[in-house]
Amino acid sequence: MLKLYLLAPGPTPVPSEALLAMAMPIIHHRSPDFTPVLDAAKNGLKWLYQTKNDVLILCSTGTGGMVGAVNNFFSPGDKVLTVNGGKFGERWTKICKAYGLQAEEIIVEWGYAVKPETIEAKLKNDPSIKGVFVQASETSTGVYHDIEALAKIVRKYENTILIVDAISAIVAHDLRMDEWGIDVMIGGSQKGVMLPPGLAFVGISEKAWKFSEKSKCPRFYFNFKKERENLAKNQTNFTSPVTLIIGLNESIKLLQKEGLENVFKRHERLANATRAAVKALGLELYSKESPSNSVTAVCAPAGIDGQAIYKNLREKYGITAAGGQDHVKGKIFRIAHLGYADTFDVIIAIAGLEMVLKGMGHPVKLGAGVAAAEELLMS
């Protein structure tokens, strides 16, 4: 038997409390049985998003939330900036272009974070730019973009909104939607909120809702105005993903029991330990600055294929981490510490990594990474 460990940056493991709740018989989404369920989910998401506004719940993967964030707030021809520092930043550009927006890409070298001054200069130079699209955590590179700094800049521009793909950042990073002035923030169920794939969440500021009144992009399924009206009546526009929303309430209960501050601290602790461990093994972090607390991207040692590390972790030790994407495929591998993750998930990942590297003929001292992680995990 090979025991399986899921240490990928999504999907992530689901706690048994949520799994058990989702095993209950299906309830009807237009019946009174569902009203308290959606009401609890609404309140839970407001807490998680640190916002007083309702957070929409969509039956889709995170990308559906990204699409809705483009076609509900903008019109064809609108000028926007998209921060492209990895695979998911590139997706922002593709979606904006699909809806006829004039997207100017801010190319950020993979492994680095966007410089807030770059965005500030662009907006100063052209106040007709209506939106700034960015990731909080760029999952493909393991880099966190400084959302607080970006929000501080964008909120100065009345005609510009900040749209944050926080799909892999929620719970791993403190993202204060209302306090900082994030206008649209997208989440997904299979990441930090510890659920199966299938839900997208979209937090929306009052400023962004005003943009939606002027938006002329075509839309049908992702109609945020209709979703908002339905949510006010504890309904969703179409058939509600009842099972996932029941699970969501259980996951949020667990996070609430821990406390938001502690949730962030746990992710920081796990991320610090993972980084220290890979460095102790003589490996280099792929993120050259601002590493994400949800996933650690690591450069494969010279002469060793990053995909082979990923494959060996899976096949020999049952550990599913992640490889590299696009031009860094084979050059990096990624270890997640996101959602239902704690001390021994890091130890498993690092011990597995040590054994895989040694097995591939790379000179590592077994236990060196684990010891470095333990030092930090005990703190």
Ligand X SMILES: Cc1ncc(COP(=O)(O)O)c(C=O)c1O
Nearer of residues 192 and 369 to ligand X, judged by Cβ: 192
Q: How far apart are CA 296 and CA 140, in angstroms?
A: 10
Pick from 114, 167, 285, 336 the residue near ligand X by CB under 6 A.
167
Min dist CB 341 to ligand X, Å, is 15
Min dist CB 131 to ligand X, Å, is 17
Q: Which stretch binds ligand X (CB under 6 A): 25-33, 162-170, 247-255, 276-284?
A: 162-170
Nearer of residues 150 and 276 to ligand X, judged by Cβ: 150
Tell whether residue 10 is a contact of ligand X (CB under 6 A). yes
Nearer of residues 189 and 205 to ligand X, judged by Cβ: 189
Tell whether residue 168 is a contact of ligand X (CB under 6 A). yes
- State the binding string over 186-225 for ligand X (x if CB under 6 A, else -): --x--------x----------------------------
Nearer of residues 91 and 314 to ligand X, judged by Cβ: 91
Name which of residues 73 to 92 contact ligand X (CB under 6 A).
88
Tell whether residue 237 is a contact of ligand X (CB under 6 A). no
Min dist CB 379 to ligand X, Å, is 28
Tell whether residue 12 is a contact of ligand X (CB under 6 A). no
Tell whether residue 54 is a contact of ligand X (CB under 6 A). no
Min dist CB 139 to ligand X, Å, is 3
Tell whether residue 61 is a contact of ligand X (CB under 6 A). yes
Tell whether residue 135 is a contact of ligand X (CB under 6 A). yes
Nearer of residues 111 and 369 to ligand X, judged by Cβ: 111
**Contact positions vs ligand X (CB under 6 A):** 10, 61-63, 88, 135, 139, 165, 167-168, 188, 197
